[in-house]
Structure 1
Amino acid sequence: MSNESGHTEKLGIDDCTVPETSVSVYEALYRRRMAWDFRNQPVPRDALDRMLATAVWAPNHRLTEPWRFFIIEKGSAASEKVAGLAYDFALQRSGGEQRAAATRDSLLKTPVLIYAYSTPGRDEEGTKENYASVCCAAHNMALAGVAEGLAVTWETGGPTRHPDLAEALGAEADWTLTTMLSVGYPAENPRSERTPVANFVRWLD
């Protein structure tokens, strides 16, 4: 939203509508899982709007607001385009038609794809901080997805690496792709295990 001077208006916490949910923060943290198989069910736009709204509240040093998101829904021309690029990259990398086709079809079947980019900072330190902030923003959306009954899957592999992807999406050349998020209602019940945190913690005197 822009005011008469052309500047974007800022939102405070009192301007935000907090969705009602029975899912606690801790439950979302523990239940968040990636899924690779989604139900053939559209994701409501209002659910996506609520998830995206949480992204801009991620930790962000100097409030640089480095996040840029491109949303692609199943069945769109953009979906066909990025799936085709993923197919081409997979074919060139592995040389296997079957694997490349599986990569393409996986993207085509995904209800929603969200490409999250990070803008550069004033220096190397700022660029790193911006990238970290966009990672946090993506995680905010993944946690909000739990409350919406959705799975949010991170992808930084082959489907994100075609050299023409940024141009196809409309991203600027100096932006960095942080992750591609696949969003949908899971058709599986993914489970995971973690090493207890005590193995990684040192209390210092």
Structure 2
Amino acid sequence: MSKSTQTGNAVREAIENRRTVKKFKKEAVPTQQIVDLLDTAVWAPNHKLREPWRFLLFSGDGLNKLADAIDAEMGEDNKFSANIKQVPAVMLVVMEEDPRQNVWDEDFAAVSALVQNFLLAAWSEDIGTFWVTKPFLYGPKFRKSLGIQAGEKIIGMVYMGYPEVIPSAKERTPAKDKLTIFE
């Protein structure tokens, strides 16, 4: 088997075997390992190498800052801030918004590809992830408390840690069922 075939199979296997993990062990993920994974993720295709992303990483005591930002938006009686403190690390992925719709679309696709790259790279190092959006991500108090500027969009939060439980695979609709071919 050629090296390219082996690599292709490894990539396909990683894509098909990655799972969304929602239950993590308490063990911290080293910050440098997360930075290294991000250095891999930034190889996502992005038009004209605009690199329209930035990241906010919360772990250890830093999770309190994220919880405080959630409380500022949601009030102290919410389920989100307590839950967030149970996750070993949380990363916000932020996109610089361009007012031109076609550029915005390209950048959103690029940042989404970056997140997928990160999820796959993390999985390859036995780190589970959960890419999620929550209502408070859009809130002005939450955004202000974390320095999210006008003209920036939070693409989502990535929870990460070593999996306590790895869920079973869920069925996917075969692509052929959603494919139209013009020959």
Equivalent in the alignment of 1:194? 172
Cα distance in 1 for partners of 2:67, 2:136 equals: 8
For structure 2, the 5+ residue unaligned runs are 1-8
Structure with more relative contact order (C-alpha pairs < 8 Å, separation 6 or more): 2
Which amino acid in structure 1 is aligned with residue 50 of structure 2? T
Letter in 2 for 1:164: K
Query: Aligned runs of 1:46-195 on 2, under 5 Å?
Result: 46-76=32-62, 79-87=63-71, 89-90=73-74, 97=77, 100=78, 102-121=79-98, 123-191=100-168, 192-195=170-173
8 Å contact kept, 1:66–1:118: yes
CA distances 1:11-37 after superposition (whole Å, capped 9, x unpaired): xxxxxxxxxxxx921221011111221
Retained in 2: the 8 A contact 1:89–1:158?
Answer: no
**Counterpart mapping for 1:19-30 below 5 A:** 24-30=10-16
Of residues 174-183 and 157-166 in structure 1, the stretch that sits farther from structure 2 once superposed is 157-166
How far did 1:152 drift?
1.3
Cα-to-partner distance string for 1:118-163 (whole Å, 9 max, x where unaligned): 1122622111211111111111100001111011111112352332
Counterpart CA distance in 1 for 2:122 and 2:10 is 12
Structure 1 stretches (4+) deviating beyond 6 angstroms? none
Q: TM-score, normalised by structure 2?
A: 0.85
Q: Secondary structure at the match of 2:54?
A: strand
Question: Is the contact made by 1:28 and 1:147 (CA closer than 8 Å) also made in structure 2?
Answer: yes
- Matched residue count: 174
Contact 2:69 2:145 in 1 (8 A): no
- For residue 139 of structure 2, give the secondary structure of its aligned residue in structure 1: coil
Aligned partner of residue 36 in structure 2, secondary structure: helix
Residue 146 of structure 1 aligns to a residue whose secondary structure is: helix
Deviation, structure 1 residue 88: 5.5
Query: Against the structure 1 CA distance between its residues 84 and 46, is the aligned structure 2 distance closer, same or farther, given a 3 Å change threshold?
Result: closer
Measured after TM superposition, the shift of residue 164 of structure 1 is 2.0
Please identify, of 122-131 and 38-47, the stretch whose mean Cα deviation from structure 2 is larger: 122-131
Q: Which residue of 1 aligns with 2:4?
A: none
Superposition TM-score, scaled by structure 1 size = 0.77
The Cα RMSD (Å) is 2.0
- Distance across 2 between alignment mates of 1:105 and 1:37: 15
Between the aligned partners of 2:148 and 2:80, the Cα distance in structure 1 is 22
Q: Distance in 2 between matches of 1:34 and 1:184?
A: 11
SS in 2 for 1:116: strand
Secondary structure in 2 aligned to 1:57? coil
